[in-house]
Amino acid sequence: LFSELQALHSSGSLSYTSCVCVCASVVFFGSRGSDPRGRQRPIAKRCGGATATKEEMAKLWGGSGLHPLVEAYTVGEDYRIDSEFMLPYDIKASSAHARMLAKIGVLTQAEGETLVKALQEILELWKAGKFTVDRSQEDGHTAIEQYITEKYGEVGKKIHTGRSRNDQSLTMIRLYALDQLREVDTLCKELSRVADAHAKTLEHIPMPGYTHMQRAMPTSVGKWLNAFSSGWKDSSHGLEAAVKTLDQNPLGSAAGFGINGLTLDRAETAKLLDFAKVQENPMYCGLSRGMFENVALQAMSLPMVLASRFAADMMMFTQQESSFLRLPDDFVTGSSIMPQKKNYDMFEIMRANGKVFGSLQVQIQETIVGLGSGYHRDLQCTKKAFVEACGLCTSTLKLLIEAVPKLQAREGNLKAAMTEDLYVTDEVYKRVAAGTAFREAYAAAKAEFFKRQAAKEQAEEPAAKRAKA
């Protein structure tokens, strides 16, 4: 082919640009005939006896001749996300579906067992890093079906009976989301526990309380840390509510309208997948795509907001001007130019990740706002944001579980910071306890404090002038 192209170009019959385009197409479409293990995919027969091309075989919807830019744009990173995160959940759901199809007689018992065996084989290959999804396959659903059909023949063509890629995606994402919610709940409980235990060891150490970033009233390091511990503990309420909302089986809803002429046992797949119940209305199953992911991230937002605010406090309390708190050196970084620096980068990143998490949750919400019922390809764009947000939340909580128990209070600096201004409100209430009306006590304590402050500043001024001279 390349020799023929060269001859055509030399004769002036074909431009250089056209030659390049033809070569690129050959390389691109030729490479798509290989599966993730580097072997040629078999060429299957389509209905009517026509032979399917390799690129048609790579699409469950039977398309052919898709422009490479269209493919790259519409597939996006979906294949990578499925390959890295979703395959175990797709395999689990497919195994339950195969067992159910055998139970209702669509598959023989032997066929059901073969499919379950093949799916377990794929899972083991995936765990060993030997099963991946490539872009031409679009998603993990295609990669799984192609592998089974190639290795086990006709039975692989039956696994998609009674379902669509819509409910297949819904189910794997639902299972992933429930795992993530339960993991975040477990991490929040553990973080609350370690923070509360450490707070008890620090409750005797005084600490200035702040409002508006200004010194306000006296508190303690223990009380400050316990406030965050209490918040992470309360996060469980929202996470458990989200689990209750998501814990329903969408498998069998197909493209959002169920299957006419085939009675699926959706209660059986719900049981096999440990769902609390069946999501009965197939149209509601479709409607919940993106919406349930939004519910999950809303529940995860409370621990992330708390983490971001904890990080902001840590940045303030570890700076040299206050130097109230510190962590061991394996939690801090340095500077490439300033040898003396100890930077609490983890808290700067954590502070930012609170905002990044929020933007990912809003991205999902804004993607689904205004969509009609039924499936829309827009929903594919929620998957990447959801996976990234879940990863941010779990990694943040795991880091805090390690860091919080190692938090050290610099007791000398904290005690030195407990200055007169922190106790002015206490003076107000001493007067109130003695019978003075609150507003009068407030005015008197305020006037006396600022009078003392002015006298102190006046006394310090000559000393400052002498030092300057």
**Per-residue buried b or exposed e for 189-216, using 16+ beta carbons within 10 Å of the residue's own CB:** eebbebbbebbeebeebbbbeeeeeeee
The set of catalytic residues is 212, 335
3-class DSSP state of 279: coil
Distant-in-sequence, close-in-space partners of 310: CB < 8 Å, separation ≥ 6: 228, 350, 400
Rounded Cα distance, 291 and 279, in Å: 14
Q: Could you tell me the sign of the dihedral formed by the alpha carbons of 238, 240, 241, 245, in that order?
A: positive
What phi and psi values does residue 193 have, to the nearest 5 degrees?
Answer: -65, -50
Distant-in-sequence, close-in-space partners of 141: CB < 8 Å, separation ≥ 6: 60, 82, 90, 165, 168, 169
Sort 391 into a burial class: Cβ within 10 Å, 0-12 / 13-18 / 19+.
middle
Assess contact for 144 and 133: CB atoms under 8 A. Answer: no
Rounded Cα distance, 357 and 361, in Å: 6
